[in-house]
Amino acid sequence: MLQLLTADGPDPEHAEALMLYGRLVGSWDISNRYRFADGVWRTAEGEWHFGWTLGGRVVQDVLHCPDFQGRFPGTTVRMYDVQTGLWQITWISPNLPSYFIQTGRPDGSGGMIQEGTDANGTRSRWTFTDVTPASFHWQGFSAAPDGEFELFQEMRATRRSA
């Protein structure tokens, strides 16, 4: 099954567009800061691995942060929609359980923005900023239906050496 899932690189027909998230392919060390339900922020170290899947039309990741007592691992599947030019994104973490559906696009300043909802219908916004070949900053926000977005998680990632 895994041999059928993985791909060597982006689909050549759409390679340029696929590199929005494709530039993250590889392994990253992360410093993760998360606000728990009690309002207290906790930090932990973890790892985030991105790879090409499903014929090179999907960038999939696995995020693991063991110090958050089972909050992870989880996986995100990011599929480039050639008809709309947007990314259709699904995050799942069975241990929580947690489930998000989002749409992603460039943010206009070299990063990415993803917006959608979680399994409860809560609005979500995830951003990748300061993206370089060696590092990036990720932030997760949530909001009530008529409320402002509030930061609930952020990660700083550093690419691992080959």
pTM of the model as a whole = 0.92
Contacts of 13 (CB under 8 A, 6+ apart): none
Distances (CA, A) of 69 to 1, 3, 48, 61, 156: 29, 31, 17, 20, 20
User: Domain 2-36+43-157, what fold?
Assistant: Lipocalin (2.40.128)
Strand partners, 35: 41
Q: What is the DSSP letter of 64?
A: E
pLDDT tens readout for residues 77-121: 999 999 999 999 999 987 777 889 999 999 999 999 999 999 888
Task: List the Cα angle 89/4/59 in 5-degree steps.
Answer: 25
pLDDT tens readout for residues 152-161: 999 999 999 7
pLDDT tens readout for residues 46-81: 999 999 999 999 999 999 887 665 556 889 999 999
Distances (CA, A) of 98 to 48, 94, 159: 17, 6, 26
Q: Which amino acid is at 146?
A: D
**How much is the pLDDT for 156?**
98
